[in-house]
Each structure stands twice: as C-alpha cells, then as structure tokens.
Structure 1
C-alpha cells in the first residue's frame, strides 16, 4: 500500500506498531505528546488522538491523563485476547474519568 493511500492517522498507527514490534520502543517507553506528533506528521491534534485510540484498542499503548501515552507491558504479547484488551481499555477509561472528577471536585470544592 502506498503512503498516499494511507490515512494520516494510519501512518502513525503503522509507524508506532512497527517500532513496538521491532523492539525500538519497549514497555513503559513514553510516546511523544499529541502536539509533538501533530507537528512531526503535519496533521491536526484530533487526527493524532484517533491514532492513539487505535493503538490503545490494539493493546499496544496505554494513556494516563496529564502524563501521556506509554508502550504497554503486553504490547509484545500476541496472545492477548479481545476480552483482555477490552478490560484494559475500560480500566484506562475509569482512571481517566476518576482523574477528571477529582479535578472538577477540587475546582468546585
């Protein structure tokens, strides 16, 4: 598939999936920020977010609000099933919501 046929977010997904697969990025490695990736690839931050969502859904990365995105400990585990990935995604979403709620409570408290 030529680069022209690939959507901008898919370029990031492909690039980072390959880096993780080849061991260039190991578990716990912090990915560049959304702004840094947007600048590097010449795309909008929303497009970067879509790529990060794809990488999270694939179980390759996890994110912490305010801290960034990191290579998952299980990124190299090809046996990770869909249920495990779904649970990990839900755990991340709950942590994100808890952080947001805490921020709101501090602001209104």
Structure 2
C-alpha cells in the first residue's frame, strides 16, 4: 500500500468534508497552527495543504483573515 504524503492526505480530508457538506461555502478553516496541532504535523505541511487546496479552488485565502471554503460549483464541475 503506497504511503500518501501528509499534506495530500489532509487536503483530501478537507475536500471530502466539503463534498459531504460538513464544510459549507464561506466557512473559515482552522489557522495553520491549529490544523498543524490537530494533525500532528508541522506548520509548513499545513501551508502546503492550503496551497494545494487553493490551486484546486476548494478554498480561497485572504492574508490576515484566514482560509475559507469556496463554492463547490467553482471546482466540482465535470471537465
């Protein structure tokens, strides 16, 4: 069984929560420090998570305010 990088695993978990409706558009995600503590990873790993999710358009970030869930219509469409 292949080992998945922490940042990929955490990003996939957050994406699954959005798909399941546990996280709604506009919901604020935990701070980098909070999410790092929750998953027992370094803050730099969480930064990778947020960059990955932002590139995939699952979230958007606002400097000084945090990371927020994007509208799934923007990224869940079939190509």
TM over 0.5: yes
* Structure 2 unaligned spans of 5+: none
The structure that is helix-richer by fraction is 1
Report 1:15-94 matches (<5 A).
15-73=13-71, 75-77=72-74, 78-79=76-77
Count of residue correspondences: 78
Q: TM-score, normalised by structure 2?
A: 0.89
Q: TM-score, normalised by structure 1?
A: 0.66
Rg (Cα) greater in structure:
1
Q: CA RMSD in A?
A: 1.8
Moved over 2 A (4+): 75-81
**Structure 1 counterpart SS, 2:68:** strand
* Structure 1 unaligned spans of 5+: 82-109
Q: Which has the higher contact order (CA 8 A, sep 6+)?
A: 2
**Structure 2 counterpart SS, 1:59:** coil
